[in-house]
Structure 1
Amino acid sequence: MERQDLNNGNGKKYLEVCVSSGRHTVSLGEVNISSVTSDAQLFDEIWKTYRGIKGTDWRTTLHNWFLEPDDVLFVLFGVLRRHQVGIYKQPLEIPPEVEVDEGRYDYYECPMKVLPPMPGNIFLHYLEHAKRKATSKKETPMYHADSTFLKRLPKKLETSIFDGDAAGGSSISYGWGIHIVERPSTSALYSVAAFQAFVSVAICFIVFGATSATLVLDQAIGIGQYTAGVLALLNTAFYFSLQAYCNYFSPRKF
């Protein structure tokens, strides 16, 4: 049976957004979408929530330069004391029919015939557009003006997940939502590799120029190559540390 969005009791609708905020830490951002009417507005709010969780200080900005949203998973999660979030099932977990029938969640077409509710590449495209709009401050009212995915994404109705026992810490509150998964940014890593190449060449010429009386060109080049090798090792170690950070939250079989 297909259902349109429910007119729930108090009109409140929430989208639960999980974001990795540490190597073993997931933070929950609850987006109040009660007044949202289009996919464009929805992703504007998702982007604000994502950036709010990631932070804006210089350390976080530098860290985030090397990571970027790479996929979206549909998850069953639990939250304790508002900030301790655990992912229990993924990647295609949506609220069962009973949750919709009893008015706790809503999504269009229940039971959903085709999963996921929103393909990852389309989600990232919409999120990237919201990011560009937030950066440029330009309005594009006709872009993503429909509500296709606003209807399909699972929404919590009436009460915030933080209103339950999870706020006080006496028990875990369970819910369904999305988890934005990050991966190392290829463009950032390539930029670092290019910078390393530039530094090694610069060191080569500086050393040769400063010691031209005692070193020949081949020796200076050797010093530059040694520097490049050290920098490459550091870059590799950094890359694998980023991979370890991201892989902890990769999809697993439960």
Structure 2
Amino acid sequence: MMIELSDVYKTLDGRKILQGLNLSIREGETYVIIGRSGTGKSVTLKNIIGLMQPDRGEVKIMGQCISQMSKTESYEIRQKMGVLFQSGALINWLNVEDNVALPLTEHKRHLPKSEVVEIVRQKLELVELSHAGKRMPSELSGGMKKRAGLARAIVGGPKIILYDEPTSGLDPVMSNQINDLIISMQKKLGVTSICVTHDMSSAYRIANRIGMIFEGKIIEEGTPQEIKNTQNPIVKQFISGSTVGPLTQ
């Protein structure tokens, strides 16, 4: 398995967030995590990235337990991950090219400038932003910011990409453009992808498998078709958006 979480517990500010969460993600697949706000989706991502450590349980990345690593070892693992944050998280005073180049200029300083320029050019082309390299973040639409953030996430050649609400705040057309890019990244780069989203149309479109978190655990997982046909009343209410059911009792 590329990513494994085994019996993971995490409490924040006295509130139990993850309560024995188990999750296994295969190499090269796109796994989508769904669930209500505050159920632990983002905390799960942070445990995978190594920004948080579990109170109990194990998080393994590529067979290595990151909670037992030295800082140097965990740093090396994180260099194999790319993250697309919900807002795109671009630095306002840097143009698009410089934002995308940041992981290379910060962490791979041995690379000659000409090579950095070429890598950035290739990644901007992949996300269809070749024309926008000199623009500032303030000159970009919401969808363009997401694409620039994605270019930055893949610039270091990661094996794993984590997406935090990638279609949040976008119209349906732009959302589908981002969805298509996520699918394209999986096919062209062979990456393993983990995506947290509330957008079920996006989840169905991009996922190989979907898992729902409820009360700190994955309560059901399956292919998009299996999730659509679920008989679990909690999952059924969530994916339909119904106001009647166990989630609102």
Q: Normalized against structure 1, the TM-score is what?
A: 0.23
Rg (Cα) greater in structure: 1
